[in-house]
Amino acid sequence: MKVLVPVKRVVDYNVKVRVKSDGSGVDVANVKMSMNPFDEIAVEEAMRLKEGGKATEVIVVSCGVTQCQETLRTAMAIGADRAVLVESDADLQPLAVAKLIKAVVDKEQPQLVILGKQAIDDDCNQTGQMLAALLGWPQATFASRVSIEGDRVAVTREVDGGLETISLALPAVITTDLRLNEPRYVTLPNIMKAKKKPLETLKPADLGVDVAPRLKTLKVSEPPKRTAGVIVPDVATLVAKLRNEAKVI
């Protein structure tokens, strides 16, 4: 079974995000970038399926600028067999990414696509669902456990009421939640091995996909700074402040 794992290059989660002075977006100049944490969980799960004998090949794909090759090399250092980069300098929005991944799926013919439920930069939580709709495949979102038996995959997912286990016919699309697994550390020998693994570069035009943005960002601004707290003498004063100043009751 072939497993395809899309990964995204994002600002590292340890970095304090800064907004550009003109409010046009987030400043990424000279900022540490890394693999989206949810996608890292997806790569780890694909590797566990391969190590458990359920998958024969793991392919990672990324859509974006040339520097996404670094993210793909990291995924191959975790254990992925090969990588595909759909290179584009355009502002790739979820629908465009879903169309690009669908084109790669049509080309590679995997039986399972595993990707993070969302990216920590835009928090859209849309690409996996859009991809499943474009492919016409069953989907399971927010997976906290994945088990493959024959031509079906059982997915335990987190819902408001607790846990829900569903069974999907392969091929299928799965999006990962934080509690699915804990990604392994990448070792130096595996980083060196990843440099020799094949990485194919494509353009959106090669896949016949129009990636022109459909949405326009009008303004990006930082959240207001928190004011200093105050100590109140009694409950009555606290309630009065919550009612009159904070307007929360």
Query: How many Cβ atoms from other residues are within 10 Å of residue 2's Cβ?
Result: 16
Is 247 exposed, middle or buried, given 0-12, 13-18 or 19+ CB atoms closer than 10 A? Answer: exposed
Query: How many Cβ atoms from other residues are within 10 Å of residue 231's Cβ?
Result: 6
How distant, in Å, are the alpha carbons of 55, 119, 211, 216 from that of 24?
A: 43, 20, 20, 10
Could you tell me the pTM of the whole model? Answer: 0.85
CA 53 remoteness from chain centre: 25
List pLDDT tens digits, range 220-234. 888 888 878 889 899
d(C-alpha 33, C-alpha 71), whole Å: 9
Cα–Cα nearest to 52, from 126, 153, 201, 135: 153
At 22 the pLDDT is: 84
> What class is the 2-224 domain?
alpha beta
CB burial of 194-225 (b: ≥16 within 10 Å; e: otherwise) equals beebebeebebeebebebeeeeeeeeeeeeee
> What's 227's DSSP letter?
P
Low-confidence ranges of the chain (pLDDT < 70): none
List pLDDT tens digits, range 6-28. 999 998 988 888 888 888 788 88
Angle between helices 94-108 and 127-135 in degrees, nearest 10: 50
